[in-house]
């Protein structure tokens, strides 16, 4: 009996998740090898300095331009090479990514201004707003689109984030994150699905909208659309609903949390529970981390709580959601031609593989730094081993946030229509309220003291 | 019946791979689904082996071949 040839698109090297894992882990291992031999990755992980006078920025650029050039070359080769294997043209990527890099540098410079916090000029929000304004007021040249690969950038950043998160913290906090995220995911999905069906929408469409609000945004929507066999025109509507609310929540959640003076760990958990997409939530969580000092907790706690809640608590379950809904669609809903069939192997096939890189990075750094005291770790290993990875992570995230802004052209999104938007919005309201109650009142003391 | 289908992996060798109507090329999928590349990507693992069935206008995991299959 002949077996089917593996689908070209299913080969592991044809998925950006594995490339993000590879790029992230190469940096983590390189950082360790340099550290173990008395050097550091710091030379490559250059950042604009904190400044009060712009002459300091000019002086830094004059002194460090070879480092910025090397860093640009590294990112360009790593991301461009990965995209070339994925079928994108390297020559098209390079000039576009050069624009992204220069914009990211300018955004960093603004964020390093000593008065930036006073004006809430958090780099993630600046990157996003700048991109949104440019994309929606100008007609961007088509060549610029090739470098706007926000998903590859954010996945690489999340792998690097793993290097700054002790494995013990993930193991201890994981069950709490999974419990909280599961409650919110199931309730949110149920609300969106129920309202959508009551409003007369097709069940497959209702399921796509439901997971878009409950699990991991656009990624969940396309995964479940394929699993249940949703109609082609329904997916862009779900994408538009997710994007519109996700962009709004990037601004609403941090400033609402700030108005409520929530500690960074609690706000990070709330954002992780109530944002719809990894990249959007990271922008909100990183922006809130910048408020550390105005509110309790550290900047890292916001990112750590968000990542535990969103990545560990919600993202990893997308394959299970897809298979369960495929079974329900096949057995309970009317079938049409071309609607596919359930397959248990999709739990692994759809698993967001960058999470494996995130866990491996955490395990590796925990292993190589776990032999000394906390004081030694903070004095020696943080500045030479971990901090360069953290700064490279910040670059990857800014590339992502700027790309999101530049690709969000509201006029290009599908018209959502009243009923889908109403159903999705009902889920948003429940999600935000329930996420707040769980993050602040039920598990508040846990998230507030995360990692301490 | 459904459990057998679930366990053996959809329709096995009788899937949509190779069908002229089954669109899986990531850039083409992103072009067909506006907004997909803003907060996700057609190159993402979560998409699995999904494609767009141009014959029936559906997004599908391609696990069940239909009468419209065209090599």
- What are the pLDDT digits (tens) for A102-154? 999 999 999 999 998 788 788 999 999 999 999 999 999 999 999 999 999 99
Number of Cβ within 10 Å of residue A85's Cβ equals 14
A291-A293-A294-A297 Cα dihedral, nearest 10 degrees: 80
Nearest CA-CA distance, residue B28 and chain A, Å:
11
Stated as kind and residue range, the H or E segment containing B14 is: none
Paired strand residues for A113? A51
Of the partner residues B45, B49, B57, the one whose CB lies closest to the CB of residue A353: B45
Cβ–Cβ below 8 Å for B2 and A318? no
pLDDT at B1: 66
Of the partner residues A229, A280, A413, the one whose CB lies closest to the CB of residue B60: A229
Per-residue model confidence as pLDDT tens digits over A179-208: 999 999 999 999 999 999 999 999 999 999
pLDDT at A247: 95
pLDDT at A6: 43
User: What confidence category does residue B65 fall into, taking pLDDT thresholds of 50, 70 and 90?
Assistant: confident
What are the chain B neighbours of A408 within 8 Å (beta carbons)?
38
Of the partner residues B33, B49, B62, the one whose CB lies closest to the CB of residue A235: B33
**ipTM rounded to 2 decimals:** 0.90
- Of A131, A155, A10, the residue nearest A79 (C-alpha): A155
Cβ–Cβ below 8 Å for B43 and A239? no
What are the chain B neighbours of A424 within 8 Å (beta carbons)?
none
Q: Is residue A143 within 8 Å of A95, Cβ to Cβ?
A: yes
pLDDT average, residue stretch A16-30: 98
Full DSSP string of A167-185: HHHHHHHHHHHHHHHHHHH
What are the chain B neighbours of A131 within 8 Å (beta carbons)?
none
> Nearest chain B Cα to A3, which residue?
B13
pLDDT at A33: 97
Q: Is residue A311 within 8 Å of A158, Cβ to Cβ?
A: yes
Nearest CA-CA distance, residue B6 and chain A, Å:
4
Per-residue model confidence as pLDDT tens digits over A333-384: 877 777 778 889 889 999 999 999 999 999 999 999 887 777 888 888 888 9
Nearest CA-CA distance, residue B65 and chain A, Å:
7
In this prediction, what percent of chain A has a pLDDT beyond 90?
81
What are the chain A neighbours of B63 within 8 Å (beta carbons)?
340-343
Q: Which of A145, A338, A339 to mutate to test the interface with B (most CBs of B within 10 A)?
A: A338
More confident residue, B24 or A414: B24
pLDDT at A10: 58
pTM comes to 0.93
Tokens of A222: 């396309």
Tokens of A254: 């941090």
- The sign of the dihedral angle between the CA atoms of A36, A40, A41, A45 is positive
More confident residue, A8 or A219: A219
Per-residue model confidence as pLDDT tens digits over A390-415: 999 999 999 999 999 999 999 888 87
How far, in Å, are A65, A96, A396, A400, B25 from residue A93 at the CA level? 22, 5, 16, 15, 18
Query: What residue ranges in B1-71 does DSSP mark as E strands?
Result: 22-23, 51-53, 58-60
Q: Report the relative pairing of strands B51-53 and B22-23 from DSSP bridges.
A: antiparallel
Q: Is residue A11 within 8 Å of A5, Cβ to Cβ?
A: no
Per-residue model confidence as pLDDT tens digits over A416-434: 789 999 999 999 999 999 9
Q: Which three-class secondary structure state does DSSP give residue B41?
A: coil
Cβ–Cβ below 8 Å for B10 and A353? no
What are the chain A neighbours of B30 within 8 Å (beta carbons)?
none
Cβ–Cβ below 8 Å for A222 and B53? no
Of the partner residues A2, A18, A233, the one whose CB lies closest to the CB of residue B13: A2
> Nearest chain B Cα to A350, which residue?
B46
What are the chain B neighbours of A283 within 8 Å (beta carbons)?
none
Q: Which of A4, A226, A233 to mutate to test the interface with B (most CBs of B within 10 A)?
A: A226
The conformational region for residue A449 under phi > 0 = left, psi -120 to 50 = alpha, else beta, is: alpha
Nearest CA-CA distance, residue B23 and chain A, Å:
11
CA–CA gap between residue A179 and residue A358 (Å, rounded): 20
Full DSSP string of A114-169: TTTGGGT--HHHHHHHHHHHHHHHS---GGGGGG--HHHHHHHHHHHHHTTS-HHH
pLDDT at B9: 62
| B31 has pLDDT over 90 | yes
- Of A278, A285, A272, the residue nearest A122 (C-alpha): A285
Per-residue model confidence as pLDDT tens digits over A280-329: 999 999 999 999 989 999 999 999 999 999 998 999 999 999 999 999 99
> Nearest chain B Cα to A11, which residue?
B49
| A5 has pLDDT over 60 | no
What are the chain B neighbours of A248 within 8 Å (beta carbons)?
none
- Of A218, A212, A159, A158, the residue nearest A407 (C-alpha): A218
Q: Which of B9, B18, B46 to mutate to test the interface with A (most CBs of A within 10 A)?
A: B46
What are the chain B neighbours of A243 within 8 Å (beta carbons)?
35, 38-39
What are the chain A neighbours of B56 within 8 Å (beta carbons)?
336-339
More confident residue, A449 or A372: A449
| A9 has pLDDT over 50 | no
- In degrees and rounded to multiples of 5, residue B49 shows phi and psi of -105, 25
> Nearest chain B Cα to A325, which residue?
B6
Cβ–Cβ below 8 Å for B43 and A152? yes
Paired strand residues for B60? B51
């Amino acid at each position: 009996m002949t077996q089917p040839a593996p689908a070209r698109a299913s080969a592991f090297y044809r998925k950006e998740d594995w490339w993000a894992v590879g790029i992230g882990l190469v940096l983590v291992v390189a950082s360790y090898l340099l550290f173990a031999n008395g050097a550091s990755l710091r030379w490559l992980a250059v950042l604009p300095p904190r400044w009060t006078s712009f002459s300091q920025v000019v002086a830094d650029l004059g002194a460090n331009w070879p480092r910025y050039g090397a860093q640009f070359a590294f990112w360009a080769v790593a991301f461009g090479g990965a995209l070339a294997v994925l079928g994108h043209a390297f020559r098209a990527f390079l000039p576009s990514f050069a624009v992204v890099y220069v914009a990211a540098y300018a955004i960093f410079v603004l964020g390093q201004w000593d008065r930036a916090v006073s004006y809430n000029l958090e780099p993630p929000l600046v990157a996003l707003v700048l991109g949104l304004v440019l994309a929606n007021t100008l007609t961007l040249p088509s060549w610029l689109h090739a470098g706007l690969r926000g998903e590859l950038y954010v996945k690489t950043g999340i792998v690097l984030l793993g290097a700054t998160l002790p494995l013990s913290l993930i193991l201890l906090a994981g069950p709490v994150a999974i419990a909280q995220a599961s409650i919110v995911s199931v309730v949110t999905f149920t609300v969106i699905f129920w309202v959508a069906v009551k409003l007369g929408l097709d069940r497959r469409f209702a399921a796509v909208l439901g997971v878009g609000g409950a699990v991991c945004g656009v990624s969940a929507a396309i995964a479940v659309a394929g699993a249940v066999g949703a109609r082609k025109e329904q997916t862009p509507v779900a994408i538009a609903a997710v994007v519109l609310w996700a962009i709004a929540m990037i601004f609403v959640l941090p400033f609402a949390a700030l108005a409520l003076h929530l500690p960074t760990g609690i706000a990070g958990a709330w954002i992780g529970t109530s944002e719809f997409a990894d990249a959007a939530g990271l922008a909100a969580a990183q922006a809130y981390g910048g408020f550390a000092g105005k509110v309790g907790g550290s900047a890292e706690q916001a990112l750590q709580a968000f990542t535990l809640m969103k990545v560990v608590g919600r993202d990893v379950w997308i394959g299970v959601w897809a298979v369960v809904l495929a079974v329900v669609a096949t057995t309970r809903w009317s079938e049409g031609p071309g609607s596919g069939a359930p397959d248990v192997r999709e739990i692994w096939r759809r698993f967001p593989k960058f999470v494996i890189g995130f866990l491996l990075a955490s395990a590796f750094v925990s292993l190589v730094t776990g032999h000394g005291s906390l004081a030694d770790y903070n004095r020696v290993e943080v500045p030479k081993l971990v901090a360069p990875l953290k700064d490279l992570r910040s670059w990857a995230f800014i590339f992502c946030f700027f790309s999101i802004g530049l690709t969000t052209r509201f006029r290009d999104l599908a018209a959502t229509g009243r009923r889908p938007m109403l159903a999705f919005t009902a889920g948003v309201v429940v999600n935000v309220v329930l996420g707040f109650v769980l993050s602040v009142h039920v598990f508040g003391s846990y998230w507030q003291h995360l990692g301490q | 019946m459904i459990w057998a289908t679930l366990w053996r992996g959809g329709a096995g060798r009788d899937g949509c791979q190779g069908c002229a109507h089954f669109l899986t090329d990531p850039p083409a999928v992103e072009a067909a689904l506006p907004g997909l590349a803003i907060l996700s990507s057609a190159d993402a693992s979560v998409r699995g082996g999904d494609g767009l069935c141009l014959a029936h206008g559906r997004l599908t995991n391609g696990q069940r071949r239909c009468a419209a299959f065209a090599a």
